[in-house]
């Protein structure tokens, strides 16, 4: 914590205590606020679209636990489902009917999924889907896109987004070189680079793995035809297309990016929203592929807490609420209002800002050009983002503390929240403009 004012005294003390016992004082790197050169705000509680810190400050929240809280925090129906499940026992390590009920909802929502396996984190979902793809195709290489983040398992910590991008490392110490060499990296939105990878590594690529809407280098939408071309290249080469919809699933449409863009994946990874704020994730696809998983097949995948009854109850409650008519229209209109308000504020302040938005996720990049891939993101003015972040925090708006993350709008945000956020942005961008002129 460097710049922060005394009104963050409790957060500062909590961070010092945490640093004595937890590496970097946190349990996930981006939470440490290193991406904005500040110390973290420690959270006491959250309700609806608000989070409250240990110093008693209130913020309009656009982190939403990095995506899961699409209904807002502590939604009464989700909390009631959690209580009811907890009363019946917290974990059995045995099958429950609720897991089938959740699977029915996922299969009903995602056109490409016939069977699904529940896991506890997005990392596990992607790691397991790729193992399955490797076994199914009998190949070892994967293609991933620069700036996409797929969790922290070894194969994906290569040119990754999110907190890895913040650290500025191309790869990660501890990842065996032999494994990293099996990951081929292509720029996002560059189908020609993927085609070239297929030519270079003929019959060796098991899967093309992509965030169909990239959201871990800030939000970068797929260019027209990009996902379709990936689909065609995979079909031509006997390779599986894996959509990592851990963020986009149930976010950019109920049926995820696959519904929004009309392109089907062979395997789909889900997380965040489907856990309703509890540790639950999933991967799924055609039965003919999924049946290769143990116990029907030989591809081993397991989890003591997989399909945990409390997480499953939160998941069902969340998906049932999201299935109600009007949710995605409302998310779209809130997202559009925030986008246009931010654009207006930037224009008034004379600060170049490129806004990328898909439904209720968006990012403002401090630059005057379109942002289509990770190189574009890296060329933006990160110092301006840091200043903007600090100004917004001071004005009670809690953004993701990194230029490589998205803003998440929830159904709990009101028009008044968006209005207050735009007002805060107007003042914050004026401060950024003053700093530019200095
Ligand atoms: C697209 C994507 N895939 C995978 C993951 C990993 O999920 P988790 O953090 O639950 O392991 C994340 C976020 O962390 C993500 O944004
Ligand atoms: N960008 C990450 C996931 O989407 C942020 C969450 C984390 O790494 O703690």
In this prediction, residues 301-314 reach a mean pLDDT of 98
Identify whether 244 is a catalytic site residue.
Answer: yes
pLDDT computed for residue 170 by the predictor: 63
Give the helix/strand (H/E) hosting 420: helix 415-437
**How much is the mean pLDDT over the chain?**
95
Max intra-chain CA distance, the chain: 66
Give yes or no for a contact between 118 and 102, defined as CB atoms under 8 angstroms apart. yes
Query: pLDDT digit string (tens) for 147-164?
Result: 999 999 988 888 777 777
- Ligand 2 centroid – CA 30 distance (Å): 7
- CATH number corresponding to 76-322: 3.40.640.10
Q: Does position 2 have pLDDT exceeding 60, yes or no?
A: no
Q: Does position 3 have pLDDT exceeding 90, yes or no?
A: no
Q: Does position 205 have pLDDT exceeding 70, yes or no?
A: yes
In the DSSP assignment, the letter for residue 175 is S
pLDDT computed for residue 436 by the predictor: 79
In percent, the amount of the chain with pLDDT more than 70 equals: 97
Bridge partner residues of 364 (DSSP): 355
Considering only the top CATH level, what class is 6-74+326-437? alpha beta
Identify whether 404 is a catalytic site residue.
Answer: no
Query: pLDDT digit string (tens) for 358-407?
Result: 999 999 999 999 999 999 999 999 999 999 999 999 999 999 999 999 99
Going by pLDDT thresholds of 50, 70 and 90, the confidence category of residue 166 is low
This prediction's pTM: 0.96
Which of 102-106, 173-177, 229-233, 360-364 is the least confident region?
A: 173-177
Nearest ligand 2 atom to alpha carbon 247: 4
CA-CA distance, 373 to 378, in Å (whole number)?
A: 9
Identify whether 272 is a catalytic site residue.
Answer: yes
Count the residues in the chain.
Answer: 438
Nearest ligand 1 atom to alpha carbon 272: 10
In this prediction, residues 336-365 reach a mean pLDDT of 98
Going by pLDDT thresholds of 50, 70 and 90, the confidence category of residue 4 is low
Could you report how far apart the first and last alpha carbons of the chain are, in Å?
24
Residues having CB within 6 Å of any atom of ligand 1: 121-123, 126, 149-151, 211, 216, 244, 246-247, 271, 281
- Domain ranges for the chain: 6-74+326-437, 76-322
Query: CB-side exposure of 174: number of CA atoms within 13 Å?
Result: 7
Nearest ligand 2 atom to alpha carbon 405: 1
In the DSSP assignment, the letter for residue 60 is E
Query: pLDDT digit string (tens) for 21-64?
Result: 999 999 999 999 999 999 999 999 999 999 999 999 999 999 99
Closest CA to 251 of 65, 365, 410: 410
Nearest CA to ligand 1 atom 1: 246
Nearest CA to ligand 2 atom 1: 162
- Which residue among the candidates 61, 190, 244, 266 is catalytic per the annotation? 244
Nearest CA to ligand 1 atom 14: 151
Which of 249, 272, 273 best tests ligand 1's pocket when mutated (most atoms within 8 Å of CB)? 272
Give yes or no for a contact between 111 and 264, defined as CB atoms under 8 angstroms apart. yes
Residue 208's φ and ψ, nearest 5 degrees, are -105, 120
| 6-74+326-437 and 76-322 agree in CATH topology | no
pLDDT computed for residue 163 by the predictor: 77
Query: pLDDT digit string (tens) for 398-436?
Result: 999 999 999 999 999 999 999 999 999 999 999 999 987
Which of 123, 126, 149, 281 best tests ligand 2's pocket when mutated (most atoms within 8 Å of CB)? 149
pLDDT computed for residue 142 by the predictor: 96
Two tokens, residue 244: 């990592």
């Amino acid at each position: 914590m460097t710049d922060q004012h005394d009104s963050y005294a409790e957060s500062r003390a909590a961070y010092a205590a945490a640093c004595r016992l937890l590496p970097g004082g946190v349990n996930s790197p981006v939470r440490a606020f290193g991406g904005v050169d500040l110390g973290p705000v420690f959270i006491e509680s959250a309700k609806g679209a608000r989070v409250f810190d240990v110093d008693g400050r209130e913020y309009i929240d656009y982190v939403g636990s990095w995506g899961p809280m699409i209904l807002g925090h502590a939604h009464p129906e989700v909390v009631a489902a959690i209580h009811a499940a907890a009363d019946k026992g917290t974990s059995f390590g045995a099958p429950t009917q609720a897991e089938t009920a959740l699977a029915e909802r996922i299969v009903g929502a995602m056109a490409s999924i016939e069977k699904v396996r529940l896991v506890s984190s997005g990392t596990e979902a992607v790691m397991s889907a790729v193992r399955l793809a490797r076994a199914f195709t009998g190949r070892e290489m994967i293609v991933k896109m620069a700036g996409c983040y797929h969790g922290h398992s070894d194969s994906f910590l290569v040119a990754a987004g999110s907190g890895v991008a913040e650290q500025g490392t191309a790869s990660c110490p501890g990842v065996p070189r032999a494994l990293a060499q099996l990951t081929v990296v292509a720029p996002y939105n560059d189908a020609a680079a993927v085609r070239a990878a297929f030519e270079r590594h003929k019959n060796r690529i098991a899967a093309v793995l992509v965030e169909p809407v990239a959201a871990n280098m800030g939000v970068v939408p797929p260019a027209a035809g990009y996902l379709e071309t990936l689909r065609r290249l995979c079909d031509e080469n006997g390779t599986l297309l894996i959509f990592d919809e851990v963020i986009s699933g149930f976010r950019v449409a109920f049926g995820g990016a696959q519904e929004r863009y009309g392109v089907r994946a062979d395997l789909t990874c889900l997380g965040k929203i489907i856990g309703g704020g509890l540790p639950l994730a999933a991967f799924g696809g055609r039965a003919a592929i999924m049946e290769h998983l143990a116990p029907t097949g030989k591809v081993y995948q397991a989890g003591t807490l997989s399909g945990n009854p409390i997480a499953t109850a939160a998941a069902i409650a969340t998906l049932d609420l999201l299935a109600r008519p009007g949710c995605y229209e409302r998310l779209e209109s809130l997202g559009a209002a925030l986008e246009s308000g931010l654009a207006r504020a930037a224009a008034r302040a004379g600060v170049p800002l490129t806004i990328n938005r898909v439904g209720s996720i968006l990012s403002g990049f401090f630059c005057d050009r379109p942002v289509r891939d990770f190189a574009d993101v890296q060329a933006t003015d990160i110092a301006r983002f840091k200043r903007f972040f600090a100004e917004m925090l001071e004005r009670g708006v809690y953004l993701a503390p990194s230029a490589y993350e998205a803003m998440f709008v929830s159904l709990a945000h009101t028009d008044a929240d968006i209005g207050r956020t735009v007002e805060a942005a107007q003042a914050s961008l004026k401060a950024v403009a003053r700093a530019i002129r200095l």
